[in-house]
Structure 1
Amino acid sequence: MGNNHIITHLPIYKAALHDDWDSVSEMFKNDPGLMTKPITMWGETPLLIAIGTDRSHRFVEKLVKRLIDVGAKDKLIMGNQDGTNPLHYAAMVGNTTAARLLVEHAADMTHVPNFDGNNPLNMAALHGNKETLEYLLTVTQDLLPEEGGSSLYAGVAGGDLITLTIMSGFYDVALEIIDLHPNVVLEKDRDGRTALQILAQKPEIFPSGSKLGFWTRFIYSLIPVKKRGRHTNEINILLRTFDKFTAGFWSALQYVAPTIKYIHDIKVNNNLSSLLVERICKIVIEQVDHDIAWNIFGSAIASAVTYGIHELVEECILTYPGIIWYNVDGYYLFILAIKHRQERVYNLVYQMSRFKVWTTVQVDGYVKENALHKVAQLAPPHRLGVVTGSALQMQRELQWFQEVEKSIKPSYIEALNIHGQTPRMVFTEAHKDLLAAGQQWMKDTASSCTVVAALIVTMAFAAAFTLPGGNQDDGKPIFLTSNTFMLFIVSVAVALFSSSTSVLMFLSILTSRYAEDDFLYALPKRLTIGLLSLFTSIAATMIAFSSALALVLKDKVTWIAAPLVIATSIPVCLFGLLQFPLLVELVKSTYGRSIFHQQNDRLIH
């Protein structure tokens, strides 16, 4: 009964929705109070509804003008039952046109928060409306307490603004805010997070989190990215002209190939993230306040280690080397990297010539476990999944164990924890399920491939004694002098030998003892040789079949060669597409460069 007015004012509601000012103009003229009367269950006025559509621009313009004409300018700030005023609505939906109109007549509205404490700036950032946010930043003054207002770039409001801007992906806008209000990076948002901590939770904007293949990395290296800063001399003016030309070329290319734009955006974000981290670190250390630096850097690297963002960790350590001893839930930086299996963060130990010896000496006093005990625990599920299959996951876990084993004190290798277990005992216990899964994965893979390889052996052996065209009276093949026949017989021989090798390799996998250490090198090596041999035998079999057909049909169908080559390549390509990624991963993880190595020289001193 108390909401009957909603039905009564439906014509006004519909007019606001559909930008139909003419239908209500006379109504507002006769009863000006209707212009500011709540007409929905949430206490929304016609102005709020019209702004919220981001389409009823004429309605908003006429309504604001009418309110000012009748002396109700103060009603422009009137909000709904949550204290959300018209400028909040404009910020929420990205209605920059309405925002300009409102600020023109009520500039102070930019500082008014709603009942949740959100001001228009934060609302625009929260809802990802970049254009509106950029406009509001240009018209929102930084009022100091002595000027009768509170700064929107300080305290929780400032913390919310910079963190929400970064979370929305507006990194260029965040840089502009920091340039104008450097101390905003020292503030915490309502959840107690700083700008650097939010960056540490966005691995996708750093090079280490950008998943690029070979060709995308090549294109990435060629794409130019505009640098911040100004050209100051004639040489730089020439460079700027050249940059404009190349930028125009790549911009045009982005329309033709959307993938280019995707890679370009990745590189832009990588560049902006680097600038943001450097700028924030510089501002923090310039405060000459240990507590501020310790808390901001420490909370950021705690998140960065979890997400594997080594670039951010590096910059923090370069700025403040002592931060490597920041304690996160009882663990120092490199122990935390071991726990989360973040090799790129752990690899920073190779760049720290002076502190390397101290990085893995920590012992958990409560459970008496050292770094080797920690790496013996099973990796988090999201880190296990970075490699394919349970067998390679087991291999990666063994590689981690061996790496940490090399870097700790010899006395730690057989040290007992509170349960009387050595690190190796902990590893065996923690990985028993993964070991069983790896054994099953290996057996299933080997069994499937053995069947295929055995069939090829049978076919190749039979083909060697069933020659195309038959034999002469003296037993010699009819096509013995033909080059195509030589291709056939060589292909059959290669298919037989390679498939036999493949069968032997897969049989050796099936009869293996499946000990833990076998997954480090022996089993992956056998699987690699088996898959390579199987691939070779399939390719050779297709070549042999094609050459046999070409010999038989050459006098009848002279054009048969080209279609046969195409047909032959189809199964070979399919096998390559389906199995080659696994083969590459096997070779890379077993014979390739270790995941533990010095990444650069930035921290060496």
Structure 2
Amino acid sequence: MGEHTVIIERASSSPLQGGLKQYLPLYKAILKRNLEYVKRLCELDKRALEARITVNLDTALHVAVGTGKVNHIVKYLLTKMSKDQLKLKNKDGNTVLSIAAIVGNVKAAREIVKIQPELNNVANDCEIVPLIEAARNGHKEMIKYLMQFNRDIFKSGGECDSIHGVSFVNLLIDAAFYDLALEWVKDNRSLATTELDTGETLLSAMARKPSAFPSGRMDSYVIVEFVQFAVYAILVTEKVNTARIYNKVRELVELLCKEITTDYERASSMLKRPFLLAAESGVHEVVKVIIDVFPDAIWFVDAENRNALQLAVMNRREKVFNLIYEMSDYTHLLLMSKDNFGNNVLHLAGKLAPQNQFCGAALQTQHELQWFKGIEKIVQPAYKKDKNYEEKTPAMVFTEEHEELVKEGQKWMKDAASSCTVAAALIATIVFAAAITVPGGTDDDGRPILSNENSFGIFYNTNSFSLYTSIVSILIFLSVLTSRFNEADFLFVLPTRFGYGLFMLLCSLVSMMITSAMTASLMISVRRGAGITLVAIVIAFCAQMFTHTQFPLLMELMFFTRGPSIYRNKCTHLYRDLN
């Protein structure tokens, strides 16, 4: 390939005579990192340097490089071996540099290249050079080192070279090395319009990587991830590194789109697949860039005649939906479109989402209802009664598609409410017993002996609060258990009741823990400072347990029942009535 021709022919690698058993001590010495014994064996048998010591026909240097932990032995062997011996391949056609690339042994690679730089272009039996091996195995430092020797490896201009080049960049994208992918595309801009063996482009590969974008890393559906992201954002280094990665990703997407749209007629065919894929995957960043450079992309449809807006509805991608809804002046035309089965957008909203985005079936059912009701607000009234080719209305589609999910949601909520009711009853029993059994006893007048202690006031108040909140939570959970569990109840009534009940239960639990701490403080007569410390420890422990167990569920219940709607800006009014 140009000046850097990839050598595919097998280098001279005929093994010398000698069984594997003869060189077993050498093999073991390398694995045990015993340099002195390796030296002794190599001095006694000059053929040991090129002998095959494994069933895979590896030489001693292959083994030493492959371990990644005996580079002192690697250096010794390199000083003793000739350049021809360094070219020896194993059974798979891998040279020692290929082995270094596979395991990510950069130190060994540096030493090898110093002596035999030609090995950079020697391919194995699968026609894969060391640089590609490093990319396949995700070794970034090795890739960065080998790239300096392979800048022109795919630049001969032939179709085969372009396919190899785009495959290499695709490997970088798969490994999340977006900065290296950007650097390589900048040097080889024709790769942006080169298709992979699968018929996809690099832009499609980026659209398949939601985790590369902020929308994929911090999904608004997952409260736990939001909390984690907020914690990590406090760390300046992590925040800066994340921002740098996102900038590289955005720059890469913009560069790919720019190169594709240099030919406007070609752009229509090359942007269609990544645009629809990004809409389906929820990567609104890619959707936005493509619409900016090619506004006609909003008219792209898939094989079933579904546009990006409809795909966003089907896959519950609210960010993509909002983006297209706000950017396009033809939203009403997109909403009027029907697929090959006669389904309008409300029929598609009635279909079950392809992936479960919540920890419980009840919350998933609520979310499905929110989408259906939200879309129902923005379509023409006639769409509600419109029938597809199966003679089904959108409501019929929704009920049929979500029948099993509603049953699972009913079971989930009943089981959870029953468990919480038992827990609340136990708490009520404990705190009631504590209320009638005053710590320290009472005097002749019936007054608590320890009533003058500061801890006693805290004990009395928290115990009363725990008792009342546990009783309230029992009543709320009983109302959940006796509900009708209709499909519509999952939208607001059931999640609201369950959320309030869970909140009351957690309040009673924390209060009970504080009450227990105050009881211990009163009984052992600890000093005030020690009592405050004990309370702080107990509260911190409860807060931690609360955060890791029930807080995410409670936040999801509150956020998606009482929080902002799925749709914003132009269509926020469509959903406000539901909340």
TM bucket, shorter chain: 0.7 to 0.9
Q: Pairwise mapping of residues 119-268 of structure 1 onto structure 2 (< 5 A)?
A: 119-140=129-150, 142=152, 154-211=161-218, 212-214=225-227, 216-217=229-230, 219-220=232-233, 223=236, 250=237, 260=238, 265-268=241-244
Contact map agreement 1:13 1:39 (CA 8 A) in 2 = no
- How far the C-alpha of 1:21 sits from its partner, in A, is 6.5
Query: Which deviates the most, 408-417 or 266-275?
Result: 266-275
Deviation for aligned residue 1:124? 2.2
Cα distance in 1 for residues equivalent to 2:297 and 2:367: 29
**444-453 or 523-532: which moved more?**
444-453
Q: What does the per-residue CA deviation read over 1:47-67, in whole Å, with 9 as the maximum and x for residues that have no partner? A: 6566555532332343234x4
The CA distance in 2 between the partners of 1:6 and 1:188, in whole Å, is: 48
Within the alignment, does 1:321 sit opposite 2:295 as a pair? Answer: yes
Does the 8 Å contact 1:205/1:273 carry over to 2? yes
Gaps of 5+ in 1: 68-74, 224-249, 251-259, 601-605
Kept in 1, the 8 Å contact 2:15–2:51? The answer is: no
Question: Shift in Å at residue 407 of structure 1?
Answer: 2.7
**Contact preservation (8 Å) 1:470, 1:478:** yes
Does the CA-based 8 Å contact 2:27-2:53 persist in structure 1? Answer: no
CA contact (8 A) 2:182 2:252 kept: yes
The answer to whether residue 480 in structure 2 is matched with residue 509 in structure 1 is yes
Matched, 1:272 2:290: no
1:375 CA drift (Å)? 1.9
Query: How far is 1:170 from its partner?
Result: 2.2
Deviates more, 1:91-100 or 1:508-517: 91-100
2:95 and 2:286 mapped to 1: Cα distance?
A: 39
- For these two proteins, the number of residue pairs brought into alignment is 538
Q: Which AA in structure 2 matches 1:326?
A: F
- Asked if 1:341 corresponds to 2:316, the answer is yes
Residues in 2 aligned to 1:465 and 1:42: alpha-carbon distance in whole angstroms: 79
- Which residue of structure 1 aligns with residue 128 of structure 2? 118
Shift in alpha-carbon separation, 1:362–1:22, aligned structure 2, 3 A: farther
Structure-2 separation of matches of 1:421 and 1:346 = 25
Q: Deviations over 1:529-573 (max 9, x none)?
A: 2223333444555666777887x869x766585477358647854
Q: 1:341 to 1:557 in 2, by over 3 A?
A: closer
> Which whole-Å deviations, capped at 9, do the CAs of 1:353-373 have from their partners, x for residues lacking one?
4132233322123x2212221
Which residue in 2 is equivalent to 1:242?
none
Distance 1:82 1:335, change over 3 A: same
Change (3 A) 1:509 1:112: same
Residues 111 and 152 in structure 1, CA contact (< 8 A), matched pair in contact too = no
How is 1:423-442 mapped onto 2 (pairs within 5 angstroms)? 423-442=394-413
**In structure 1, what is the equivalent of residue 420 of structure 2?**
449
Q: Is the 8 A contact 1:203 1:209 kept in 2?
A: yes
Shift, 1:205, TM fit? 2.4
Residues 128-151 of structure 1: per-residue CA shift (max 9 Å, x gap) = 233332233222353799xxx566
Distance in structure 1 (CA, Å) of the matches to 2:570 and 2:28? 60
Residue among 328, 352, 367 paired with 1:396:
367
Q: TM-score, normalised by structure 1?
A: 0.75
1:7 paired to 2:25 = no
Question: Using the alignment, how far apart are the partners of 1:42 and 1:548 within structure 2?
Answer: 71
- Alpha-carbon distance, 1:164 to partner: 1.1
The 8 Å contact of residues 431 and 463 in structure 2, kept in 1 or not, is answered as yes
**Which residues of structure 2 form unaligned runs of 5+?**
1-13, 219-224, 572-579
Q: Do the aligned residues in 2 keep the contact of 1:439 with 1:514 (CA within 8 Å)?
A: yes
Query: In 1, distance between residues paired with 2:544 and 2:431?
Result: 21
Please give the residue correspondences for 1:351-366 in structure 2 after superposition, counting only pairs within 5 Å: 351-365=326-340
1:451, distance to aligned residue in structure 2 (A) = 3.4
Aligned-partner Cα distance in 2 for 1:62–1:446: 74
More off after superposition, 19-28 vs 407-416: 19-28
Partner of 1:409: 380
User: What residue number does 2:78 align with?
Assistant: 60
CA distance in 1, matches of 2:234, 2:449: 57
- Opposite residue 191 of structure 2, the aligned amino acid is V
Distance verdict in 2 for CA 1:574–1:403, change over 3 Å: same
- SS of alignment partner, residue 369 of structure 1: coil
Post-superposition Cα deviations, 1:372-402, rounded to whole Å, max 9, x if no partner, equal 212212112xx32x22311111100101111
Question: Which amino acid in structure 2 is aligned with residue 202 of structure 1?
Answer: K
Q: CA deviation at 1:422?
A: 0.9
Q: Indicate the residue corresponding to 1:370 in structure 2.
A: 344
- Summarize the Cα distance change of 1:422–1:216 in structure 2 as closer, same or farther, 3 Å threshold: closer
Provide Cα deviations, 1:428-468, integer angstroms capped at 9, x if missing partner: 11111111111122222222333344455567778777777
Shift, 1:520, TM fit: 0.5
State the Cα deviation string for residues 203-248 of structure 1 (Å, max 9, x = none): 222111224434643652773xxxxxxxxxxxxxxxxxxxxxxxxx
Instruction: Give the Cα–Cα distance (whole angstroms) in 1 for the partners of residues 523 and 93 of structure 2.
Output: 86
Q: 2:280, 2:308 within 8 Å by CA — same for their partners in 1?
A: no
Residue in 2 aligned with 1:518? 489
Q: Residues 545 and 267 of structure 1: is their aligned pair in 2 closer, same or farther, counting only changes over 3 Å?
A: same
CA deviation after TM superposition for structure 1 residue 162, in Å: 0.8
Which residue identity does 2:375 align to in structure 1? Answer: V
Residues 15 and 23 in structure 1, CA contact (< 8 A), matched pair in contact too: no
Q: Deviations over 1:41-88 (max 9, x none)?
A: 6565676566555532332343234x4xxxxxxx86564565545543
CA displacement 1:114-139 (0-9 Å, x = unmatched) = 44332332222112233332233222
Aligned pairs (5 A) from 1:492-503 = 494-495=465-466, 497-503=468-474
Change (3 A) 1:451 1:41: closer
| DSSP-derived class of the 2:338 partner | coil
Segment of structure 1 superposing worse, 296-305 or 77-86: 77-86
Q: Is the 8 A contact 1:16 1:59 kept in 2?
A: no
Give me the identity figure in percent: 34
- Cα gap change, 1:162/1:13 in structure 2, threshold over 3 Å: closer, same or farther? farther
Residue identity opposite 2:332 in structure 1? V
Give the Cα separation in 2 of the matches to 1:590 and 1:144.
55
Superposed CA offset, 1:241-298 (max 9, x none): xxxxxxxxx5xxxxxxxxx5xx65544432322222122222222x22432x234433
